[in-house]
Structure 1
Amino acid sequence: MVHLPRLPRLARLAAAVAAASALTVLAAGPAACAGDPTVTDPHVLAHFDFAAGQTPENIALEPDGSADLTLAFAHQVARVDRHGDTRILATLPTVADPQTPNVGAAIVSGIARAEDGTLYVNYVTGTPETGVWRLAPDGSAPEQIAQLPVDGFPNGLALDEDCGTLYTADSTLGTVWRVPVDGGEPTAWATGAALEGTPQLPFGANGLKLHDGAVWVSNTAHGTLLRIPFGHGPDRTAGPVETRATGLTTVDDFAFTGHGDTVLAALNTVHELALVRPDGTHKTVLTAKDGLQNPTSVAVRAKTVYVNSAAFYVPQDPDPNLLLARISKNKD
C-alpha cells in the first residue's frame, strides 16, 4: 500500500492545475435546452480511506450494477455493490522506487472490463512496471501484459473486444496507445498537439472512450473534448483530431449518456459534473454541494450515473467517495 507522505509532489501539481484553471474561460451555453437529460437525486454510496491512499480514479461497471474502481494511491482495485459494500479485488505489486511523472508515487489509473469479467488496468510507476495489467476473473495475481514508456502516464483505458485491442490515453506523452489484448508491443495510434499538455499543466490526454466509430479523449490542460475517428482501412488508423467541446475546466474522465454524443464530464478542480451537448455547449448538473470532491471519472448504466471523487486537493476533511445519481431517459 502507498501511504501519502509523497503527496507534496501532488500538491505541486495541484498548484499547476489551479493556475491553469484560472486561465481557462468557460464556454457558456444556455442554462437548459429542450431534450437535455436531467441528473437528479445524488447520494454518496460509498466512502473510502484517504489516509490509506484509497482515492478512486476510474470506473468499470459489472452487469449487476456493481462498480469496479481503481483506488489510485493504494494501487488497488475494489468492487462496490449497489448497497455500498466494498471489497478489494486485487492489489498491484509494490514498486520499490516509483518515479511516476508529476506524482512520484505508484498509482492505478484506467480500468476496462471484458464480457467474461476480465479486468484490465493501467499501472503508472515511472519504472518498467508501467503499463497494462490483467486481472483474471478467478482472482489470480495481476499480470502485466504490456509495458508502456516509463516517462509516460497511461490514464483512461477502453477495450475494443471485437478487435482484441485496448486503447489508453497517455497524459504526459500526449499519445493514444493501442495495445493488443493478449499482450505484445504497444503502438502509438494517435499523437499531436491536441493531445498534449501545456507548460503550466503538463497533463494532457486523460479520459478515453470508444463511441460511434471513434476514440474520444479529454484533455485536462486544454479543457477540451476530442474525437478521433477510425480510418476506413483494415488497420483502423487514426483520422484527424476533431475538437468537440472547449472550456471544460480541468476535465478528467467522461461518459456518454446514450447512443448520441451527449456527455457527462468530471471537472476535477472545480468539483463539478458537466453535461456537454453535441454542439459543445455545456452546463453544470452536480457540484460540491452534492458530494463531489475532485471528481475523476463517470459511468452511466441505464438510468444511473456513477461519479468517483478522489478528494486530491481538498485541504480539510477529504472525502473520497462514489456518488450515484438518477439520469432521465435520453432523447439521443
Structure 2
Amino acid sequence: MHNKLLTLTAASAAVVAATPVLLPTASASTTAAPQLVPRASVHFDLAKGQTPENIALAPDGAAYVTFAAGRQVAKVSRDGTTRILATLPEPADGGVRTPVLGFPLTVGIVRAHDGTLYFLYATGTPDLTGVWRLRPGGKPQRIAALPANGLPNGLALDARTRTLYITDSVLGTISSVPTTGGSPTVWSAPELAPDGFLGVNGLKIHNGAVWVTNLDKGTALSIPIRPDGRAGRVRTEATGLQGIDDFAFTGRGDQLLATLNGTSQVALVESDGRHSIVLTPADGLQNPTSVAVRGDTVYVTSAAYLTAKDPNLVRLHLKR
C-alpha cells in the first residue's frame, strides 16, 4: 500500500506542477458568498489506503465513500463511525496496467432511492474494470465492463430514465449504461479529452443536462440531454478552475461548489461563471476530491493525495 500511495502522490504532483495558485482576479465573484461553518470532521487512516475519492449521501445524513487506494466502499455515519461495506478483488497483476496511476482504485459512487450503490472500479484489466453494484446486505457485482485502457472516474444516476453516466478521464468520454447493466455506449466526447494528465472528471445530472468538469482545462461544462436521449451541444459554463475535480450544486440555480484538488481549495462558482474561493487548507482540506450538498449541509472529502496526511471528511453548515 505504501508504494501505491507514493505512486499516487507522484501523479498528483504533476497536477500541482501544472496548476497555478488561484489568486483574486477580475473574474472572481464580487457577490456575497454563502458562509460555510464547520460542523464536524471525520479522519481516516492513510496507511490503510483510506483515501476518499467520491461521496454519495443517504437521507439520514450518512455518507457513502469510495476509498481509492483501499479498493473499498465504506459508510460513514453521522456520528463519524466508519464501516467498510465491500473490498473489491485485486487484479492478478496488482493493477500495474491501470492508466496513469499504475494501481487499482475505486472511484465514482452514487446511491439509488432503494439504497443500492453503484460505483466504478479501474484496474487496467478487462475482467474487473467497470460499473459495480452493491445492494443493501449484498455483495459487490460488476454489471457493466468498461475499457481497460481507460480510467473511469465520475458517475451520475439519472433516476428518471434509470441511466448511469460515466466519465473516463483518460479516454475523454462520457458513456451511458442502464442501471440493469449491459454494454455501455459512448454518449459524448467533445471538449472532454485530457491535456497532459486527466480530462473529464466530475459528473452530475442537473436540470435536464449532464454537467462535467475537465481537470486539465480547468473548466465546467454542460451537455443537454435531448428528448431522444442523445447528447446536445457542449456548453462551457466556467473557466479558470485549474485542478477542478468534483462539484455539487448548492440548490440555487446553477450555482455550484467545486473542489480544486492541487491547491486544497473549494470554489463557489456562480451561474454566470464567476468564482471565488470559499474553503482553503485552513479549513482542514487536504487535496479535496469530492463535494456533496444536502439541504444546508455540505460534505467535502479530502484524499491527501499530495499532502500525504490526514485524509478526511469535513461536514459544514451552509449559511446563506
Q: In the alignment, is residue 94 of structure 1 matched against residue 90 of structure 2? A: yes
Distance 1:133 1:156, change over 3 A: same
Compute the displacement of 1:83 (Å).
Answer: 1.2
1:132 alignment partner in structure 2: 131
1:198 alignment partner in structure 2: 195
1:269 alignment partner in structure 2: 262
Kindly indicate whether the alpha-carbon contact (under 8 Å) linking 1:27 and 1:246 is maintained by their aligned counterparts in 2.
no
Letter in 1 for 2:67: L
Compute the displacement of 1:88 (Å).
Answer: 1.0
Distance 1:5 1:96, change over 3 A: same
Letter in 2 for 1:69: V
2:313 alignment partner in structure 1: 322
- Please list, as runs of the form range in 1=range in 2, the aligned pairs for 1:247-266 lying within 5 A after superposition: 247-266=240-259
Q: In the alignment, is residue 50 of structure 1 matched against residue 46 of structure 2? A: yes
Kindly indicate whether the alpha-carbon contact (under 8 Å) linking 2:5 and 2:49 is maintained by their aligned counterparts in 1.
no
Task: For 1:68 and 1:117, locate their aligned partners in 2 and report how far apart those are by CA, in whole Å.
Answer: 11
One of 56, 59, 64 as aligned partner of 1:63: 59
Moved more, 84-93 or 261-270: 84-93
Kindly indicate whether the alpha-carbon contact (under 8 Å) linking 2:13 and 2:306 is maintained by their aligned counterparts in 1.
no
Compute the displacement of 1:173 (Å).
Answer: 0.4
Task: For 1:31 and 1:215, locate their aligned partners in 2 and report how far apart those are by CA, in whole Å.
Answer: 24
Distance 1:27 1:204, change over 3 A: farther
2:151 alignment partner in structure 1: 153
1:171 alignment partner in structure 2: 169
Distance 1:83 1:7, change over 3 A: closer
Scaled by the length of structure 1, what TM-score is found? 0.92
1:141 alignment partner in structure 2: 139
Kindly indicate whether the alpha-carbon contact (under 8 Å) linking 1:175 and 1:195 is maintained by their aligned counterparts in 2.
yes
Compute the displacement of 1:29 (Å).
Answer: 3.2
Letter in 1 for 2:311: P
Task: For 2:253 and 2:299, locate their aligned partners in 1 and report how far apart those are by CA, in whole Å.
Answer: 19
Q: Secondary structure at the match of 1:149?
A: coil
- Please list, as runs of the form range in 1=range in 2, the aligned pairs for 1:213-252 lying within 5 A after superposition: 213-232=208-227, 234=228, 236-252=229-245
Distance 1:26 1:195, change over 3 A: farther
Distance 1:76 1:28, change over 3 A: farther
One of 19, 34, 37 as aligned partner of 2:17: 19
1:80 alignment partner in structure 2: 76
Compute the displacement of 1:259 (Å).
Answer: 4.8
For these two proteins, the number of residue pairs brought into alignment is 317
1:185 alignment partner in structure 2: 183
1:306 alignment partner in structure 2: 299
Kindly indicate whether the alpha-carbon contact (under 8 Å) linking 1:10 and 1:102 is maintained by their aligned counterparts in 2.
no
Kindly indicate whether the alpha-carbon contact (under 8 Å) linking 2:16 and 2:263 is maintained by their aligned counterparts in 1.
no
RMSD: 1.6
Task: For 2:26 and 2:208, locate their aligned partners in 1 and report how far apart those are by CA, in whole Å.
Answer: 28
Compute the displacement of 1:58 (Å).
Answer: 0.5
Kindly indicate whether the alpha-carbon contact (under 8 Å) linking 1:197 and 1:219 is maintained by their aligned counterparts in 2.
yes
Kindly indicate whether the alpha-carbon contact (under 8 Å) linking 1:54 and 1:72 is maintained by their aligned counterparts in 2.
yes
Letter in 1 for 2:223: I
Q: Secondary structure at the match of 1:206?
A: strand
Q: Secondary structure at the match of 1:21?
A: coil
2:204 alignment partner in structure 1: 209
Structure 2 unaligned blocks of 5 or more: none
Kindly indicate whether the alpha-carbon contact (under 8 Å) linking 1:44 and 1:291 is maintained by their aligned counterparts in 2.
no
Q: Secondary structure at the match of 2:18?
A: helix
* Residues 24-60 of structure 1: per-residue CA shift (max 9 Å, x gap): 89864345315x4x13222442111111110001110
Task: For 1:66 and 1:210, locate their aligned partners in 2 and report how far apart those are by CA, in whole Å.
Answer: 21
Distance 1:114 1:223, change over 3 A: same
Compute the displacement of 1:16 (Å).
Answer: 1.9
Kindly indicate whether the alpha-carbon contact (under 8 Å) linking 2:39 and 2:317 is maintained by their aligned counterparts in 1.
no
Structure 1 unaligned blocks of 5 or more: none
Task: For 1:7 and 1:169, locate their aligned partners in 2 and report how far apart those are by CA, in whole Å.
Answer: 23
* Residues 181-209 of structure 1: per-residue CA shift (max 9 Å, x gap): 101010000002x101113xx20000000
Kindly indicate whether the alpha-carbon contact (under 8 Å) linking 2:36 and 2:317 is maintained by their aligned counterparts in 1.
yes
Task: For 2:145 and 2:253, locate their aligned partners in 1 and report how far apart those are by CA, in whole Å.
Answer: 34
Kindly indicate whether the alpha-carbon contact (under 8 Å) linking 1:28 and 1:282 is maintained by their aligned counterparts in 2.
no
Kindly indicate whether the alpha-carbon contact (under 8 Å) linking 2:71 and 2:88 is maintained by their aligned counterparts in 1.
yes
Task: For 1:220 and 1:178, locate their aligned partners in 2 and report how far apart those are by CA, in whole Å.
Answer: 21
